[in-house]
Amino acid sequence: MKDLEKYTLRIADTSLILAQRLSEWCSNGPTLEEDIALSNISLDLFGQANGLLDYVSKLNGEKSADEIAFKRNERQFYNLQICEQENGHFGDTIIRQFLCDSYFKLFYSSLANSKDEILSAIANKSLKEVEYHLRHSSNWVIRLGDGTKESNQKIQTSLNQIWKFTGEFFEMDELDNIMLKKNIGVDNNNLKEEWDLIVNKTLKQAKLTRPNDGYMMNGSKQGLHTEYLGKILAQMQYLPRAYPDAKW
Amino acid sequence: MQSGKIAEIWTLLGTVPDPEIPAISVVELGVIRDVKFLNNEFIISVTPTYSGCPAVKTFQDDIKTQLNQNKIHNFKIEIVYKPAWTTDWMSNETKEKLRKYGISPPEKFAQCPQCSSTSIELISEFGATACKSLYKCKDCLEPFEHFKCI
């Protein structure tokens, strides 16, 4: 696989798997408004994944975007592990979303300056959407953190549990370095400082304690995942795999 | 020689309604970025409103149907992402159409499209479509949708 193709695929997979996860809230949201909000965020992420997968397909020259989404196995997916984590209760989902949105905002701001015109265009478009998502998830983190004693404890636990997946946002491997050198990719290390500012500010307002950086999970850049990705794929890929000629 | 045809295509596109807000056309929505003639075919550049907006697929089909019905077959629709779609491209006339249709247009402050009151409250940041949020008027008590500024 070409470098640019693999780099784009990583970004696409991150949006795709988080979108699929969030879509599980559709018809299960705690309130109608929140059901619609989570489904809308999911839809934006699916749209971003679609644009990126179309580009991967073009770079690949053989497989269609659908084939790439539906006909790969776990080890061939490169999404950040945080995206595949279970939805849990509403607070678990909101914390995961907030941490991801904060990262997306900075990642796409940087990718918008990419020398690659298509990545830059998709990043510019995505940025507008993720900023809106971040506003929504931040507001909920504050409302739940600074809510009742019970809501505070619950979301603090959510935060503590997911924290070990935030290390992957800032990792750089060989491919990242190659892409950075070509002025196409993002310097992930560079995002950390500003991410800390955004996260710390909201957590403080929410009366939540930032967990210490302990052991951080990693491996998604090599296609290594937690047990949850396989289950997501089983559901997401069932129809096109079972009925390969199905049209929708 | 093709400029007359290009003008005709623009006119036809102006009759294709937005699938979710039929009060305005896809041209008024600002998603048609360019029509040009290249290598014996017309290229219609379309930009999505939101990345995941399901209406994008629908209005592409509607454009095809409308042009085919008017005996135009040598065209293709191309998706462009840059510059990213913005509600700034909507004219005041279009905004007025939205207001009459019952949607508060994309302006900095939402306003009740029924009674023009600015005493309103946000019900939900996300509405029935990606491009709208939900408000309620505190004066006439009617709920209404606001087209988000992006």
Mean predicted confidence (pLDDT) in A179-201:
98
**pLDDT mean over A104-117:** 98
pLDDT at residue B4, rounded to an integer: 87
**pLDDT tens per residue, range A121-161:** 999 999 999 999 999 999 999 999 999 999 999 999 999 99
For residues A46 and B82, which has the higher predicted lDDT (pLDDT)?
A: A46
Exposed, middle or buried by CB within 10 Å (0-12, 13-18, 19+), for B65? exposed
| Domains (range + CATH), chain A | 3-242 (1.20.1260.10)
| Contact residues, chain A, for B84 at CB < 8 Å | 121, 124-125, 128
Q: Provide the pLDDT for residue B1.
A: 59
| Lowest-pLDDT range of A50-54, A142-146, B24-28, B78-82 | B78-82
The predicted structure's pLDDT at residue A246: 85
* Residues B63 and B126 sit within 8 Å (Cβ to Cβ): no
Percent of chain A with pLDDT over 90: 97
Residue A115 scores a pLDDT above 80: yes
Q: What is the DSSP letter of B30?
A: T
Which CATH fold would you assign to the domain B3-85?
GMP Synthetase; Chain A, domain 3 (3.30.300)
Stated as kind and residue range, the H or E segment containing B120 is strand B120-124
Quote the pLDDT of residue A228: 97
Q: What is the pLDDT of residue A30?
A: 93
Beta bridge partners of B77: B44
The CA distance from B150 to B136, in Å, is 21
Please say whether the beta carbons of A199 and A210 come within 8 A.
yes
* CB spacing of B48 vs A41 below 8 angstroms: no
Whether the ipTM is more than 0.95: the answer is no
In this complex, do B130 and A44 lie within 8 Å of one another by their Cβ atoms? yes
- Whether B51 sits inside 8 A of A48 (CB atoms) is yes
d(CA B111, CA A14): 38
Nearest CA in chain B to A119: B81
Amino acid A139: pLDDT: 96
Tokens 């029924």 -> residue: B114
Pair of tokens at residue B118: 């600015």
Least CB–CB distance from B81: residue in A36, A44, A125: A125
Residue A200 is predicted with a pLDDT of 98
The answer to whether residue A97 scores a pLDDT higher than 90 is yes
Which residue from A145, A119, A122 is spatially nearest to A203, judged by alpha carbons? Answer: A145
Mean pLDDT, chain B, rounded, equals 91
Q: Closest approach of chain A CAs to the CA of B31, in angstroms? A: 14
Of the listed ranges A14-18, A208-212, B66-70, B122-126, the least confidently predicted one is B122-126
Residue A85, exposed/middle/buried by CB under 10 A (0-12, 13-18, 19+)? Answer: buried
Residue A37 has its nearest CB partner, among B52, B81, B125, at B125
pLDDT of residue B54: 82
Check whether A189 has a pLDDT greater than 90.
yes
DSSP B128: S
CA angle B91, B62, B145 (to 5 degrees): 45
Q: Where are the domains of chain B?
A: 3-85, 91-147
* Chain A CB contacts of B133 below 8 Å: none
**Are the Cβ atoms of A36 and B50 closer than 8 angstroms?**
no
| Residue pLDDT, tens place only, A156-182 | 999 999 999 999 999 999 999 999 999
pLDDT for residue B107 is more than 80: yes
Q: What is the pLDDT of residues A46-56, one digit of tens each?
A: 999 999 999 99
The string of DSSP letters for chain A reads --HHHHHHHHHHHHHHHHHHHHHTTTTT-SSHHHHHHHHHHHHHHHHHHHHHHHHHHHHHSSS-HHHHHHS--GGG----HHHHS---SHHHHHHHHHHHHHHHHHHHHHHTT-SSHHHHHHHHHHHHHHHHHHHHHHHHHHHHHTS-HHHHHHHHHHHHHHGGGSGGGG---HHHHHHHHTTSS--GGGGHHHHHHHHHHHHHHTT-PPPP--S----GGGT---THHHHHHHHHHHHHHHSTT---
Q: How far is CA A149 from the centre of its chain?
A: 29
